Every structure is written in C-alpha cells, then in structure tokens.
A = this chain, B = another copy of it.
C-alpha cells in the first residue's frame, strides 16, 4: 500500500501538475482577470470540472500559480545576500543569480509585477510563505543588516553613503526592469529574441561594475 491509506494516482497521475502548468502559461500571458478557465482546461487537455476538482476556484488556482512562480524565484536571488561574502561580491552574485534564474522564462517578472499591481494583497500571502509569517519584520532586520554593511563601507571610505532602501531599489530595478519592460525594448529597440539574449549577456557582465562604480566615493 502507499503511505497512509491514501489511495493515490489512479488513472493518469500528473494531472494536477499538468493543470498547474497550463494555468501558469495562461495566467502569465493573460493575467488573472483576462484568463479563462476553459482555456486552461483546454491547454491542459482535461475537462473544465477537473480544475475545480483540484483547485476549488479560479482565484485559488491563480494563487497557486502565483505562489509557485514567486517562491521559485525569490529565494534563488535572496540567497546571494545570505552568504558572508563581501558586499561587492554579494552584488555581483545577486545580478548573476537573477539574470540566470529569469532568462529562460523572461515573462515571469512582468507577470509578477502586473499581478502585484492589480492584486497587491497577494504579496502578503507570498511573503508569509517565503519568510514564514511576519515578512515585514524579516525584511526590516534584513534592511538593518544591509544598513550596517553599507555604513561600514562608507566609514572606511570604500563607498559613498547611501540609504539601504535606495540601494536595494536601485539594485533590484536594474535587474528586474529589463524583463518587465521587454515588450517595450522589443518594439522600440527592435530587439528580437536573439538580440535580447545578447543584451542580457552584456548586461550580466557589465551591470555589477556599473553598480559598484556608482557607489564609489
């Protein structure tokens, strides 16, 4: 028998995963408001009722997708700051980790940003999920640690003084924005997929220097 009297995986196991995958595709390209359950069912190759069988409602399905994508990306990039590397090195690791993590699914940042704009309450759920309840507090202590780091660098004359909030926003902006604004770049700079990829290569190599240089005293 399986684990706990729980009869599992009858006909075609993996259905739930297939549904989630289809939902991800549809939600990412259409948003929660624009997505249609029917379209998701079709893309998953199942009956529409199955979506409700596995995920009670459209909203819960949307939340599941959002949670999955959010928790997949955030930790990978936060990891760079968990190490005890030098600040210089942390910045470089962050930039590389983010670009590497996101480049194979470049619509995700735009989707997450959009979804957060229209449903800001989702952030609470997501943040609790990641930090384990009380995200604001976890974040505050993170920011304070960063403040100490930055002040120390400023004290020894290695960096100019900067508020940790400004620093964080700058760092994240420079990483996230090119993805979020990809449709704009595509049209306005005439970037096809290939050009965008080269653009990212260049960026990955140069961005850490750009940031460190900006912080030079």
A-B residue pairs in contact (CB < 8 Å), sample of 12: A31-B118, A33-B34, A34-B34, A113-B113, A114-B118, A116-B183, A123-B183, A139-B188, A166-B199, A169-B177, A169-B203, A214-B214
Number of this chain's copies in the complex: 2
Give bound CA distance, A184 to B124, whole Å.
Answer: 9
A170 interface residue (CB < 8 Å to B): yes
For residues 15 through 72 of chain A, which have their beta carbon under 8 Å from a beta carbon of chain B? 29-35
Asked if A183 and B31 make an inter-chain contact with CB atoms under 8 angstroms apart, the answer reads no
Asked if B117 and A202 make an inter-chain contact with CB atoms under 8 angstroms apart, the answer reads no
- Secondary structure class of chain A's binding surface, majority of residues: helix
Asked if A206 and B166 make an inter-chain contact with CB atoms under 8 angstroms apart, the answer reads yes
Closest to A110 in B: B117
A-side interface residues, number (CB < 8 Å): 57
The 8 Å CB contact of A202, one of B166, B176, B185, B210, is: B166
- Chain A window 109-131, contacts with chain B (Cβ cutoff 8 Å), 1 for yes, 0 for no: 01101101110100110010000
Chain A interface (Cβ < 8 Å from any Cβ of B): 29-35, 107, 110-111, 113-114, 116-118, 120, 123-124, 127, 135-136, 139-140, 143, 160, 162-163, 165-166, 169-170, 172-174, 176-178, 180-181, 183-190, 199, 202-203, 206, 210-211, 213-216
